[in-house]
Amino acid sequence: MITGAGRGIGRAVALAFAGQGCSVALVARTRGELEEVAAEISTLKGRALVLPCDVADPGVVQEAAEKALNAFGRVDILVNNAGYACFKPVWELSLEEWRRSLDVNLTSAFLFCRALLPHMMERRSGRIINMSSVTGLKALPEQGAYCAAKHALNGWTKSLALELRPYNIAVHAVCPGGVDTRFSREAMPHRDKSGWMQPEDIAHTVLHLATLSPRVALDIVSLRRFAGEPLA
Ligand SMILES: NC(=O)c1ccc[n+]([C@@H]2O[C@H](COP(=O)([O-])OP(=O)(O)OC[C@H]3O[C@@H](n4cnc5c(N)ncnc54)[C@H](OP(=O)(O)O)[C@@H]3O)[C@@H](O)[C@H]2O)c1
């Protein structure tokens, strides 16, 4: 089950998993984009379920999770990827934008986990991969709400990884630097994106995490541009 699967990183993750023979449940608000991804998956002879929903809405998240469980019988891997950026200085940020940032980047992951974890725990098997950001590891000006949400997502990931170890469920957070997507083009229109990572680069890492040996614990994974972003 992949949130934010209509374009960008989530779309690339969906295609990567479908390419490995996984059935995928695709979540985002825009049905048309999800249907385009589902059509690409069906040309790969894969199976995709389109579940349009706002990940910040607790009622519809529960409903989407139940639809995926009913359609596939189980959900093995949850990728909490949907995100929201509102980059401006704190004195220009409204309470609504602050709350939206926490709801979409952080609380949505909690909501999907709450909906799917009982089933994973019962089967003593599962993977949760949260799409965080380099902004979850370091501070950047004018990104306060996003920075707070992604730092919290990393903290929560680390706690959840410990909590779920007895149930054989692995939890990871991926922290990319700049990736060339609509999100970064809209949030940082003036930045030169040449040499930035592509969605497929991040999808490759997500796929690797999902297939990591159960003997390996790897909670936070940081991905920077080879040229341009210093390693923390
Ligand atoms: N691009 C970067 O440089 C970068 C770097 C580090 C981390 N990230 C993280 O990577 C993740 C994906 O970003 P991206 O760059 O791939 O962005 P993107 O290309 O804009 O894709 C974002 C996806 O999330 C969906 N989405 C957004 N808000 C949603 C909501 N409230 N409910 C359901 N779906 C929602 C969008 O669909 P709808 O609009 O149709 O809902 C879309 O499918 C985000 O968590 C972001 O923070 C990105």
Ranges of each domain in the chain: 2-223
> pLDDT digit string (tens) for 78-127?
999 999 999 999 999 999 999 999 999 999 999 999 999 999 999 999 99
Separation of alpha carbons 132 and 138, rounded Å = 12
* 5 exposure class (CB count in 10 Å sphere: 0-12, 13-18, 19+): buried
Instruction: Report the nearest-CA residue for atom 23 of ligand 1.
Output: 4
Give the pairing type, strands 24-28 and 2-3. parallel
Segment 56-68 mean pLDDT: 97
As a whole-number percent, the residues of the chain with pLDDT over 70 amount to 99
DSSP code per residue over 147-188 = HHHHHHHHHHHHHHHHHHGGGTEEEEEEEE--B-SHHHHHHS
| pLDDT of residue 230 exceeding 80 | no
> pLDDT digit string (tens) for 12-38?
999 999 999 999 999 999 999 999 999
Local confidence band at 205 (pLDDT 50, 70, 90 cut-offs): very high
Strand partners, 131: 174
Local confidence band at 215 (pLDDT 50, 70, 90 cut-offs): confident
Give the pairing type, strands 48-52 and 126-131. unpaired
> pLDDT digit string (tens) for 134-156?
999 999 999 999 999 999 999 99
Helix (H, G, I), strand (E, B) or coil at 225: coil
Residue 122 CA to ligand 1 centre (angstroms): 30
- Is 175 near ligand 1, meaning CB less than 6 Å away? no
The per-residue pLDDT for 214 is 81
Instruction: Report the nearest-CA residue for atom 24 of ligand 1.
Output: 4
- Is 103 near ligand 1, meaning CB less than 6 Å away? no
- Is 28 near ligand 1, meaning CB less than 6 Å away? yes
Beta strand extents in the chain (DSSP E only): 2-3, 24-28, 48-52, 77-80, 126-131, 169-176, 220-223
Indicate if 167 belongs to the active site. no
- Joined together, the tokens standing for residue 154 give 């990393």
**Which entry of 84, 146, 156, 196 is annotated as an active-site residue?**
146
User: 2-223 domain in CATH 3.40.50.720?
Assistant: yes
Instruction: Report the nearest-CA residue for atom 38 of ligand 1.
Output: 29
- Is 102 near ligand 1, meaning CB less than 6 Å away? no
Choose one of 105, 179, 201, 223 to mutate for the ligand 1 pocket test, by most ligand atoms within 8 angstroms of C-beta. Answer: 179
Separation of alpha carbons 175 and 137, rounded Å = 8
Strand partners, 220: 173
Q: Which amino acid is at 204?
A: H
- Is 55 near ligand 1, meaning CB less than 6 Å away? yes
Separation of alpha carbons 37 and 40, rounded Å = 5
Residue 125 CA to ligand 1 centre (angstroms): 27
- Joined together, the tokens standing for residue 146 give 């996003």
Instruction: Report the nearest-CA residue for atom 45 of ligand 1.
Output: 83
The per-residue pLDDT for 226 is 82
What's the mean pLDDT when you consider all of the chain? 96
Q: What is the reported pTM?
A: 0.98
Using the 8-state DSSP alphabet, how is residue 136 labeled? G
- Is 173 near ligand 1, meaning CB less than 6 Å away? no
- Joined together, the tokens standing for residue 164 give 């779920």
Using alpha carbons, select from 217, 121, 138, 218 the residue that is nearest to residue 176. 138
Q: Note the residue count of the chain.
A: 232
- Is 176 near ligand 1, meaning CB less than 6 Å away? yes
Angle (CA) 132 164 48, round 5°: 60
